[in-house]
Amino acid sequence: MQKTRNRLPTEIQEALVNLLLGAADFDKTSKAITVVTTAPGIWVPFHVPPDSTFLDVSDLFGPTIWQTEADIIDRVIARISDAGWPRGLIRTDDAHRSSIKHGADVMLIAPDGSPYVTVDVRASSRWSASESLSQAQSVARKINARFTVTTDGERYVVLDLWSDTTEGRPSDRFPSPHDLGLNVTDHDEHQLGVTGGEPGQGVSLVRCNSVSALETAITNAASSTVVVDFTIPWGDRWARLDDMRHSLPEPLRNMSRLDSVVAALGLTVAHPTIQRLVAITPRFVAEAQIYARV
């Protein structure tokens, strides 16, 4: 069976993010936080404390198939950031509605502000490299962008319009600015681009595709507060979770109804460096004796 996610309306997502940020910083100290999420892109517009860390666990807990193009865009934005594109050069329809009127799902600009790359995002069920490129390049030509990229969230095909290349190059990663001949050395290529304080105090993004990677990332993060956000699916009980049982706190290891959120909460709360865990959970999770023991 294919796994799916229902996408929350933007205003509800914003309210939930603000609620989590408020709970994480209820004592108003503005200390760094660590956010466990499958969609780091939704956090990008928000002011978070300096030196915070986003842990992208979409490969660990997220759905194996991204059904909606809105979900894929979140994933693509995270991978664009991973490839070294500073947040200041990334434009999306939601964040820059007044300037994006040309049909691109995401646009990457050069440091001088000119359009450089358009990104066309489609669900896997209707993604075709040749058909998608045909439509995507017409959008790119209208705004004189040099490159267009079409993707289903996992495969990327790049077309250079300046050289009149007619076939893209399939790839499993988003091209970096250097790959596309763009110099962004004045930007930190290892940060998501959101700043909460002085320049250079950006927010780091770490992809965690295994339990050990998640544990290492939590250890390395400069924070004793962890937020497990609302993007991890409830009731998602798939076989891979059984491999995580040995890493969970003892009260949770033999649970018959182990799901992704319980696993994420268990792995996080058991870490010795964590002093505060923030999450939105059903009431039964907060009240159940087994969770109280953890």
Query: Are 97 and 241 within one domain?
Result: no
What total of structural domains would you count in the chain? Answer: 2
130 inside domain: yes
Q: What percent of the chain has pLDDT over 70?
A: 74
Residue matched to tokens 């991204």: 66
Residues 6+ apart with CB under 8 A from 3: 63, 64, 65, 233, 236, 238
pLDDT in tens, 26-85: 877 778 899 998 887 778 777 788 888 889 888 788 654 444 566 678 778 878 888 888
Q: Is 261 inside any structural domain?
A: yes
Residues 115 and 206 reside in one and the same domain: no
Reply yes or no on whether the pLDDT at 90 is more than 90: no
Please report the DSSP string for 59-104 in residue order.
TTTS-SS--SHHHHHHHHHHHHHHTT--GGGEEETTT-TTT--SS-
**Domain of residue 267, residue span:** 10-64+190-293
Q: Is residue 211 part of a domain?
A: yes
234: nearest Cα among 3, 2, 1: 3
- Say if 108 falls within a structural domain: yes
Does residue 2 surpass a pLDDT of 60? Answer: no
CB 229 within 8 A of CB 22: no
pTM attached to this predicted model? 0.60
- Last-in-domain residue among 171, 199, 224: 171
